[in-house]
Structure 1
Amino acid sequence: MIHPVREGRMGARPADARLEEAAGLARALDLEVRERQVIVLRKLTPATLFGKGKVEEIAALVEIEGLDVVIIDDALSPIQQRNLEKAWKAKVIDRTGLILEIFARRARTREGRLQVELARLTYERSRLVRTWTHLERQRGGFGVMGGPGETQIETDRRLIAEKIGKLKHELSEVRRTRTLQRSARKRAPAPTVALVGYTNAGKSTLFNRLTGAGVMAKDMLFATLDPTLRSLKLPDGRSAVLSDTVGFISDLPHELVEAFRATLEEVSEADVVLHVRDIASDESAAQADDVREVLSRLEVELDDSRILEVWNKADLVSEADRADLVGYAERARPPAVLVSSVSGEGVADLLAAIAQRVDESPPLDVTTAAGDGAAVAWLYQHGRVLTRDDAEDGTVRFSVSLSEQALGRFEQMFPAAALSR
């Protein structure tokens, strides 16, 4: 495992932390990490990335240790990857290839598999360099066996391009279906809440805590990939839809960002976005910046009115630090709530904060007959009842917050109710 660092460009995060994260990615593929190195590059060598002496040094290490795979925690050009494999006589994987392999293993739904396959083919298309010994003209003539004198590399590129086109078409159909489903949810007066965060920040554990779902949650990078939606009960009795999305990571491959664009549209359409952070990690601030950077690349514009930061893993923070964090959370912008998805600490405060966030309009006065139980129950289920006044004339007056969709639905279902601002 090698993490290259350009001299004079150490970055915002320590090299050792980046190396440990890369080792975590390798362990997610059940690889045994025997050697770890941070290598400072005084200058870049176009052919091999590393200088000749360092290449020879690593070649000797690979031979002595009997290593099968060398992982470079950086992006390699196709030529660099080929040359290093020849020099080291071992398989060489760069950061993009490593993450793609994890995604390929973890995707379960049809959409997830399509997205990963599209990303993989887009990546492999750039890997088609002259590594074959059979690149002389392979085929000729007419028909489907290739054009006149088509070389093998040209054939492979054409086949990959055709597969990419087919996958994009299938994903467009999935995207259309998802858009229809999202439109149907909008017609129902239920607010939507989306979880985003750095991988292994505890999103899936929090998702399970809030909804009672059984989503896999492990101390592992990219433990879950496929988006999941569940019903969420708010403190005032209303229902919301909670969406769990794929975790982000620094230097997330461009191919994956593009492939998962449709999935992450759930974030841009959500009424409230919960940005889950591992507040016990020394890298919490840098990881938060990485999440915002990926969202920016996806052109997802989030203003503070929709974001609620969830400072997770409070159970791993000392009592002294926790007292300070509570104060910081109260003053934070966007607002933050300190929670532990494992112990449940702070979850009630989080639900209350979500309920407050989804109130999109000023309170509305609603007057209905006390005997109209359906209307009364509907208001409690789909709105936030602030006050209730049971009058002697048999009517009930509510002060209630309703979203625009919920208000329109209520007016259609209960035209006899009196409404006023």
Structure 2
Amino acid sequence: MQETKMAQKRVLITGVSNRQTNFDYTMRELGELARADNLEVVGEVRQNIDQASHRTYFGKGKVQEIKAEAAQADADIIVVNDELSPSQIRNLEKELEMSILDRTQLILEIFASRAKTKEAQLQVAIAEAKYQLPRLHPSENKLDQQGGGGSTNRGAGETQLELDRRLIEKRITKLKGELAQIDQQQEVQRRQRTKNAVPDVALVGYTNAGKSTTMNRILQRLNPDTPEKQVFEKDMLFATLDTSVREIVLPNKQKFLLSDTVGFVTKLPHHLIQAFKSTLAEAADADLLIHVVDYSDPNYLDMMKTTQETLDSLGVKDIPVIEAYNKADLKPDTRYPEVDGTQIVYSARDEVAIDALIALINKQLFEQYPTLDFLIPFTEGQAVAYLSERANILEQSYEEEGTKIRAQISPDLLGAVQKYVQE
């Protein structure tokens, strides 16, 4: 028996301008988020008012217009471009006689479907529970639906509501405990990397800006024999949620760790930002950030602003940044690769451009390393091996007294070979 594909839910996307200067952009993005959640967008309704209704978000007339539009388009769900209060959702569902999905819940659904690691699944579960907590209502409880609706029944409903709240709060505490254990393990790993003095570089930026593609192309250029290290990439919002870390070895033998972090989006839910703090710890602890930007998108400046605001809210500050303007091949009349200070215009799908980005990373990480002369006795072969593995060897020759090496090396790694430095 042939398996049939589940039909896509049909959705009408809606929103109130609410004095948002980037309203058009957020509405377009809402449609992309819906498609990322495997929903079919069948129409759109907007209302240009300065302030949303406290009761139904939309004005009374607009609610009726949405109802008529949804019926005509045969929509299953109304998707709203803001996080709604519990009462707004209940009132809208009652008047429209349809399910409501607000922006926060939509993003949570996407994250829940994409979370692969235990860490990401815990983070999403915490955010979902926090979103659900204030939205519990007596009418949703089985005890409240029993009996004839007298005062005794009302008390039972309130008791059940409190019980449900306590259960969710208990679940949040349990999930946080599990997440804390994973965080501790990862913190030990980060401290070990710091001890080994291997610099950390984190790719940050808007979702679908090309962070994963950039990471894969860097791996292909420098580690072509390790295809299994490639990370998942797809032209889709939030294609990847889990932070991936890969060791990169440059031609000059210098090493750094490159991490691909979760992308950002406008109006990213607060609970989700808090839950994903541990995932973004790679960015907070980085020696260098690469802010990947979709240069071909007309709203790229808004995307950069959103990324910066989110990083600020997470306390990611005072870290050197390379501004990497990606997808230049999709932007007409744009020359690439072009490097100006710590900015680069490039395409992650162009080898020459990736080489330019790698050179810029190398310059930002290692240019400040001192160049030193070493004279190592022939009996101390392990010191030569140490430098060969950890330093950028510029010159090497053999003298009567031993091996003479000129190399660039991190001051943090110098201790083991300090005694061989020539004054």
TM-score, normalized by the shorter chain, greater than 0.5: yes
Which runs of structure 2 are paired with 1:330-369 in the superposition (5 Å)?
330=340, 335-359=342-366, 361-369=369-377
Letter in 1 for 2:251: P
Which runs of structure 2 are paired with 1:279-298 in the superposition (5 Å)?
279-298=295-314
What is aligned with 1:56? 64
Contact 1:200 1:220 (8 Å CA) reproduced = yes
What is aligned with 1:315? 329
Letter in 2 for 1:121: A
Which runs of structure 2 are paired with 1:151-162 in the superposition (5 Å)?
151-162=159-170
Distance 2:384 2:278 in 1: 38
Alpha-carbon shift at residue 420 of structure 1 (Å): 5.1
Alpha-carbon shift at residue 227 of structure 1 (Å): 0.8
**1:261-284 per-position Cα deviation (integer Å, ceiling 9, x unaligned):** 011111111111111111111111
Distance 2:81 2:377 in 1: 67
Alpha-carbon shift at residue 191 of structure 1 (Å): 1.6
Specify every segment of 5 or more residues in structure 2 that has no aligned partner in the other structure, as ranges. 1-12, 147-154, 221-228
Selected match of 2:31 from 23, 36, 55 = 23
Contact 2:205 2:304 (8 Å CA) reproduced = yes
Distance 1:148 1:3 in 2: 37
Instruction: Give SS of 2:374's match.
Output: strand
Selected match of 2:294 from 278, 287, 290 = 278
What is aligned with 2:421? 419
In 2 relative to 1, CA 392–301 (structure 1 residues): closer, same or farther, beyond 3 Å? same
Letter in 2 for 1:342: R
Distance 1:215 1:136 in 2: 49
Instruction: Give SS of 1:35's match.
Output: strand
Letter in 1 for 2:329: D
Instruction: Give SS of 1:171's match.
Output: helix
Which runs of structure 2 are paired with 1:1-80 in the superposition (5 Å)?
1-6=13-18, 9-11=19-21, 13=22, 15-80=23-88
- Aligned residue pair count: 394
Do structure 1's residue 300 and structure 2's residue 316 form an aligned pair? yes
In 2 relative to 1, CA 58–258 (structure 1 residues): closer, same or farther, beyond 3 Å? same
In 2 relative to 1, CA 419–82 (structure 1 residues): closer, same or farther, beyond 3 Å? same
Alpha-carbon shift at residue 135 of structure 1 (Å): 5.9
Letter in 2 for 1:336: Q
Distance 1:339 1:367 in 2: 42
Letter in 1 for 2:414: L
Do structure 1's residue 123 and structure 2's residue 131 form an aligned pair? yes
Which runs of structure 2 are paired with 1:184-223 in the superposition (5 Å)?
184-212=192-220, 213-223=229-239
Instruction: Give SS of 1:322's match.
Output: coil
Contact 1:278 1:284 (8 Å CA) reproduced = yes
**1:123-169 per-position Cα deviation (integer Å, ceiling 9, x unaligned):** 1112113443756599xxxxxxxx99961111110100000000111
Distance 1:311 1:33 in 2: 30
Letter in 2 for 1:5: S
Instruction: Give SS of 2:317's match.
Output: coil
Distance 2:17 2:55 in 1: 17
Instruction: Give SS of 1:393's match.
Output: coil
In 2 relative to 1, CA 233–37 (structure 1 residues): closer, same or farther, beyond 3 Å? farther
Distance 1:78 1:346 in 2: 49
Letter in 2 for 1:352: A
**1:280-338 per-position Cα deviation (integer Å, ceiling 9, x unaligned):** 111112111111100011111134xx2112221122133x3226x83xx415xxx1122
Distance 1:44 1:17 in 2: 18
Higher mean displacement: 351-360 or 31-40:
351-360
Alpha-carbon shift at residue 347 of structure 1 (Å): 1.3
In 2 relative to 1, CA 43–183 (structure 1 residues): closer, same or farther, beyond 3 Å? closer
Which runs of structure 2 are paired with 1:234-249 in the superposition (5 Å)?
234-249=250-265
**1:173-198 per-position Cα deviation (integer Å, ceiling 9, x unaligned):** 11111101111112223221111110
Letter in 2 for 1:206: T
Alpha-carbon shift at residue 89 of structure 1 (Å): 1.4
Contact 1:115 1:260 (8 Å CA) reproduced = yes
